[in-house]
Chain A
Amino acid sequence: MPRGGDALDETRQADLRDVVLGAAASLGCAQAEVRVERIRSQGLRLRDGRVETAADDTEVGVGLRVLHEGSLGFAATVASDPDAVAALAGQAVLAARACAVATPGRVELAPEPGHGEVNWESPFDIDPASVPLADKVATLGEWSRRLQASPGVRHVIASVLAVTEEKHYADLNGTVANQRRVRVHPVVEAMAIRPDGDGFETMRTLAPPVGRGWEYLNGNGWDWDGELAEMPELLAAKLRAPSVEPGRYDLVVDPTNLWLTIHESIGHATELDRAMGYEAAYAGTSFATPDRLGNLRYGSPAMNVTGDRTTPHGLATVAIDDEGVAAQTFDLVRDGVLVGYQLDRAIAGASGLSGSNGCAFADSPLHVPIQRMANVSLRPAAGEGPTTEDLIGGVERGIYVVGDKSWSIDMQRYNFQFTGQRFFAIVDGRLAGQLRDVAYQAVTTEFWGSMEAVGGRSTYRLGGAFNCGKGQPGQVAPVSHGCPSVLVRDVRVLNARAEGGR
């Protein structure tokens, strides 16, 4: 039973859809896309085993985008009575007309065939919305108590964010898509005070957010028992660890850290709207400009990157995107060379391309769809390929980087800086204990150009985030990134404490 009653059941959705698309067509719109959505978000956070935050929010609404006389217009409402919804067509046309004064050219959407009726659901066993709050609290509470029982652990924060997204999409091409996606993101972080009283260290779970149901917290897709069991000792070792000597090191980067580097330095850089300047005022542009398609050496020949909206359990995975385009897989970087971009219909149309590759997404029924990131993933080595230990074995003096933490990259995606959850010194091909205060900083093409080897399929993991930001007004999108462990030579490593003047 949906929370707070159900004003948007399936019959109602179809009625509202017909009302608003009919109104748009009668106003002479060349294209109209409507989304009737219901998004249930449940957030829970425990501090030292006690509930600090419990939120349960159901967003509903109807959003309509029209293409009218060469201009786009968007209007949306949370109201669900047919008159208010039908009025969206007039409001969207009015918005298109109001903006025509500052729209010198005509907007063209790249063509897309109709797909008829599509019904799709992401794979999950237990809808988190069906799990009582008390059971959710019990799971996080039990995890917290395990860590709190360990000597040295001062505080524990455990949280989970669970989303059930129901999207009913229809357009004037005749595509009608009913899609339901479920995703969860559990996190546990243990904190300890340094023995000298000067500051503290934390250790966080590496479990990624995934497109799965509550079964993920029961161990389906992640070994929670194993991870929680090893955290206290990892944290204790981090407290004892020496602070890193800044300099240049060879890095073996674990997929639990590398996914975010891929997200920032490849995922965003290969969005065509950014590359063409459409995000110049906010998210930024890209060094990977369209004139360099096919000739930009992005990285070493070991680098092969794809975009997809099809990976099972991927956070960007759908069947039909928010412009009615079918989900697909496409190449972005092949043998180290830039060969493709992520597209939506508006950007593909503006570039004269024959079609979109399905990357339109709106995070809310009240927001207009824009080009958002596909699951952008680095392919592992062919065949069996190296293990992470093999990659470490090839390093004389280096650092093994595990888990993501802090991130920042510039507005053209050249210069980035990342930290992590834990860092292990590598000496003569073996791990030699943890290091503290490590941050790595590089220029995108130099970093990927120095990638000497990628790990095999056994090292491949899916990472991701719920909160990728883009657009104005700001929208957040969930996205996954698959990658193997990699070996990157000669990367600049900073000492974060020294950077802070301490």
Chain B
Amino acid sequence: MTPGGARTRDPSGLPPAPEVVERALAAAGGEGCVVIVEDTSEAEVRFANNTVTTNGIRRDRRVTVINFQAVEGGVAPGMARRGGAVDIDALVRDAAGDAAASRPADDAAALVGPEDRPPAAGPTLPDFATPPDATDLSVLGDVLAGLGHAFRRARRPGSDRVLAGFAEHGVSTVYLGTSTGLRLRHAQPTGSLHLVARSADGSRSAWAGSGTADFADVSVGGLEDRIVPRLERARRRIELPAGRYEVVLPSEATADLMVGLVDAMGGQDAEDGRTVFSRSGGGTRVGDLLSALPFELRSDPGEPGLACSPFVATGVSGADVSVFDNGLGIGHTGWIEHGRLARLRYHRAGANRSGTTATPPVDNLVLELPGATGSVDDLVARTERGLLVTCLWYIREVDPSTLLLTGLTRDGVYVVEDGEIVGSANNFRFNESPVGVLGRATEAGASGRALGREFGEWLNRTSMPALRVPDFNMSSVSQAS
């Protein structure tokens, strides 16, 4: 296989996706129809204790039919989704049946047509008839060879390294057709590589991870070079109590906090009064200054290196996404501009009710402090006394009204004195709000692609800076190592 390349023939034995879309649209009656075929090809290798443990290759297909029917007082959607070689007529009939038995939808809006094609800012749209992109384990050939070498090094006499991690690559090709004449295709390659090194006694550990589209820009050796020195630096252990510390968050930790932040940016929830972005007494906090530094938090399908789908493709409606919006173009979306909350997520019907513009979710996220330069190491070098965290883990919402999150530091907390790492500390449980973190951050480095340790699984394409945050709340000590 060639990542991003196309095969001439689909070896799965499944009928071509564009044909499924056309046949379903032809079978559907009522007030309109949306058909989404998502063809996915994935390969992965997992390893631990210096050996590969599990692997997998898979071919998935999901066919979603959304049919719209006129019902008393408006239009109602019905959806049916099924995997594999579907009975198209049955799927259309099921969707139409549910629509006809439903009440008018609150998120109803005119279906998107060709006149609303995605903006040119996004990646170019290939021909709808192009077969799906595919992947297989050969993409991970260098990773497997690299692991073979790394395991041998780890097993050498004198080494007490135990390696664990994961490599995955997938390509998901979405075909979207509407009864209004829209035909859209988007192929999304997504990959990640995680490497953890632990000392044999489990007392020290270090992690590195990267997102990638094709594994050309990541390697086992590259990640090993990042974490082995850290494992060595951790030999000097400094026990620290709970408390508030000046913390340098590397871009991977920033990524997890910012994904948590953008997840809370639903417009309807804010208007209902149930989020940190609800205004006391009613309305939302759009326009409020969130940070003294002029941070930009944005998403853009055209973001270099982080390209993602430039149109809405959803099988289900939610508080701020709508099946009626399928095919709607996605452009540059500024969530926070010059430190101010600029917009929240809305589907078209919700935006219309709230007097604002539709803002769909986007599959990438960038935090940037314009003009900021330097790396996490530069921030460390300017730290008189503080902690350098490796990454955050088990992050859960405690109080939605402040977006207070709890979680753990993981795989390395380093003590910094006079710009130098002098040893490693125990882990901590933190209780912090990403809104507070952004508001109190006093310094940021340059932004670059960074994979959140926890939420990178859901949002792979993130570009983040390292941050300096004074008074970070380390609520208690965790004995975990």
A-side interface residues toward B, CB under 8 Å? 3-7, 43, 45, 47, 50-61, 63, 71-81, 83-84, 87, 91, 94-96, 98-99, 101-105, 132-134, 137, 154-155, 191, 193, 197-200, 202, 276-282, 284-285, 287, 346, 366-368, 370, 406-415, 417, 419, 437, 439, 441, 443, 471-474, 492, 494, 496-497, 499-502
Interface status of B473 (Cβ within 8 A of chain A): yes
B162 touches A72 (CB 8 A): no
CB neighbours of A74 from chain B (8 A): 54-57
Closest to B320 in A: A52
B272 touches A191 (CB 8 A): yes
CB neighbours of A55 from chain B (8 A): 79, 81, 315-316
CB neighbours of B103 from chain A (8 A): 50-51, 137
Closest to A92 in B: B57
In the assembly, what is the distance between CA of A137 and CA of B98, in Å?
11
Q: Can you report 28 residue pairs joining A to B where beta carbons are below 8 Å apart?
A: A7-B86, A51-B106, A53-B317, A57-B81, A58-B83, A59-B83, A75-B57, A78-B85, A95-B56, A96-B55, A98-B140, A104-B151, A155-B274, A197-B280, A200-B278, A277-B202, A281-B46, A284-B480, A368-B55, A410-B480, A412-B478, A412-B480, A472-B46, A472-B194, A473-B44, A496-B398, A499-B398, A499-B473
CB neighbours of B260 from chain A (8 A): none
Q: Are A500 and B402 also in contact (CB < 8 A) when A5-B87, A280-B164 are?
A: yes
B196 touches A281 (CB 8 A): yes
Shortest Cβ distance from residue B218 to the other chain A in the assembled complex, whole angstroms: 15
Q: Are A407 and B14 also in contact (CB < 8 A) when A56-B81, A132-B101 are?
A: no
CB neighbours of B280 from chain A (8 A): 197-198
CB neighbours of B49 from chain A (8 A): 276-278, 280
B398 touches A406 (CB 8 A): yes
Chain B stretch 13-55: residues in CB contact (< 8 A) with chain A = 13-14, 42, 44-55
How many contacting A-B pairs (Cβ < 8 A)? Answer: 317
B82 touches A60 (CB 8 A): yes
Q: Are A277 and B48 also in contact (CB < 8 A) when A53-B317, A497-B399, A500-B433 are?
A: yes
A411 touches B480 (CB 8 A): yes
In the assembly, what is the distance between CA of A215 and CA of B430, in Å?
42
Which of A75, A202, A276, A412 sits near B58, CB closer than 8 Å?
A75
Closest to A155 in B: B272
B274 touches A285 (CB 8 A): no
A408 touches B406 (CB 8 A): yes
CB neighbours of B137 from chain A (8 A): 94-95, 98
Chain B stretch 219-278: residues in CB contact (< 8 A) with chain A = 268, 272-274, 278
Q: Are A280 and B162 also in contact (CB < 8 A) when A76-B58, A81-B13, A103-B51 are?
A: yes
B166 touches A500 (CB 8 A): no
Of the listed residues B77, B98, B394, the one surrounded by the most CB atoms of chain A closer than 10 A to its CB is: B394
B273 touches A415 (CB 8 A): no
B406 touches A415 (CB 8 A): no
B-side interface residues toward A, CB under 8 Å? 11-14, 42, 44-63, 77-87, 89-91, 94, 98, 101-103, 105-107, 137, 140-141, 144-145, 147-148, 151, 155, 162, 164-166, 168, 194-196, 198, 202, 205, 207, 268, 272-274, 278, 280-281, 315-319, 393-399, 401-402, 404, 406-408, 410, 427, 429, 431, 433, 436, 457, 473, 475-481
A496 touches B319 (CB 8 A): no
CB neighbours of A437 from chain B (8 A): 399
Q: Nearest 8 pairs between A and B by C-beta?
A: A5-B87, A78-B84, A412-B480, A4-B82, A500-B404, A199-B401, A84-B13, A499-B431
CB neighbours of A84 from chain B (8 A): 11-14
B402 touches A278 (CB 8 A): no
In the assembly, what is the distance between CA of A98 and CA of B56, in Å?
11
CB neighbours of A96 from chain B (8 A): 55
CB neighbours of B404 from chain A (8 A): 496, 499-500
Q: Are A499 and B475 also in contact (CB < 8 A) when A95-B137, A406-B398 are?
A: yes
CB neighbours of A56 from chain B (8 A): 79-81, 94, 98
CB neighbours of A370 from chain B (8 A): 54
Closest to B195 in A: A281
A51 touches B80 (CB 8 A): no
